[in-house]
């Protein structure tokens, strides 16, 4: 294979020309299909696959199209991932600023049920679709109703505490992403441990709920678990084939991790404040 820009030879697997630095992703579409098959062999049970088994056999479009998956460079992959995340968080902030009073008039159980239904449908679309447009639609089906739920959650909270919670979450998320970049091999292997810890913690929380008890440590433990999930999902994202659809799928997984962390930090701070007032 030769670079279309300068004509220099390009080794198989390289993303950029060693001579002129031009992107050669579109020249490697055929190689990427083989790489996808290899990735599915290495990670056959990856919950973050986000694409059906037939994706490896689908022809990736050399011309970017939202209705067909296409290959991108690693830099553009992370740019799409980050932009998708930012889109979700901006929508959540807008909802919290504009609709806090409105959602307090809606029965919270109805609001939560609607979110669960829409979010489940969105996650399924995001997981099984190999088209960037549909994956983005699924992502928004998670983000938009969650914005309403967040508005209801923060309605009774002190605005300063909410701002500090967002700042803490942003700081912790940044730290976990840096740690994951530093030790990607470690974070990519801790998924089973995190899942086991989360299931045990949720079971313990359910028992406490049945006995009408609460335990502040539960919030701390769940927050720590989702800190681990942020690092895990970022590390796994960096191991995935560089396609637009995979970037959106990875953003959805990270978004849910970060929102869960935010909610647990907010709950922990709220209970701590209530305890001090008493």
The structural domains of the chain, with segments of one domain joined by +, span 25-277
Distance of CA 261 to the CA centre of its chain: 12
Alpha carbon dihedral 74, 78, 79, 84, in 10-degree steps, equals: 140
CA neighbor of 28 nearest in space, from 38, 18, 13, 45: 13
Per-residue pLDDT of the chain (278 residues; tens, 9 = 90+): 556 556 666 665 555 567 766 554 434 433 333 333 333 333 333 444 444 433 433 444 445 566 788 899 999 999 999 999 999 999 988 888 887 777 777 776 777 788 888 888 988 898 888 899 999 999 999 998 888 888 877 777 777 888 888 899 999 999 999 999 999 999 999 999 999 998 998 888 888 878 877 667 888 888 999 999 999 999 999 999 999 999 999 999 999 999 989 888 888 776 555 444 44
The conformation of residue 53, written as its DSSP 8-state character, comes to G
Q: How far apart are CA 239 and CA 247, in angstroms?
A: 11
Q: How far apart are CA 263 and CA 266, in angstroms?
A: 5
Q: How far apart are CA 85 and CA 259, in angstroms?
A: 11
For the full predicted model, state whether its pTM sits above 0.75: no
The backbone torsions φ and ψ at residue 6, rounded to the nearest 5 degrees and listed phi first, read -120, -10
C-beta of residue 245 within 8 angstroms of C-beta of residue 131: yes
CB atoms within 10 A of CB 263: 20
């Amino acid at each position: 294979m030769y670079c279309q820009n300068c004509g220099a030879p390009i080794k198989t697997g390289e993303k950029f020309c060693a001579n002129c630095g031009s992107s050669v992703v579109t020249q490697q579409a055929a190689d990427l299909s083989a790489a996808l098959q290899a990735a599915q062999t290495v990670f056959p049970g990856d919950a973050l696959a986000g694409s059906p088994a037939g994706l490896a056999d689908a022809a990736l479009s050399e011309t970017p199209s939202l209705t067909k998956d296409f290959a991108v460079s690693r830099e553009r992959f992370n740019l799409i991932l980050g932009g998708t995340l930012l889109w979700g968080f901006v929508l959540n902030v807008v909802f919290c600023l504009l609709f806090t009073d409105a959602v307090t008039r809606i029965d919270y159980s109805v609001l939560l049920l609607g979110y669960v239904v829409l979010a489940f449908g969105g996650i399924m679309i995001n997981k099984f679709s190999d088209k960037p447009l549909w994956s983005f639609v699924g992502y928004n089906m998670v983000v938009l109703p969650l914005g309403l739920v967040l508005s209801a959650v923060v309605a009774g909270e002190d605005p300063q505490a909410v701002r500090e919670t967002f700042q803490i979450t942003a700081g912790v998320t940044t730290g976990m992403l840096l740690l994951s970049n530093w030790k990607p091999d470690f974070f990519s292997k801790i998924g089973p441990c995190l899942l086991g810890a989360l299931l045990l913690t949720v079971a313990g929380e359910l028992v406490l709920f049945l006995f009408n008890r609460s335990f502040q440590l539960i919030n701390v433990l769940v927050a720590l678990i989702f800190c681990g999930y942020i690092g895990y999902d970022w590390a796994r994202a960096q191991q995935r084939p560089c396609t637009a659809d995979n970037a959106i799928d990875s953003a959805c997984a990270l978004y849910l991790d970060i929102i869960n962390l935010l909610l647990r930090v907010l709950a922990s701070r709220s209970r701590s404040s209530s305890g001090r007032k008493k």
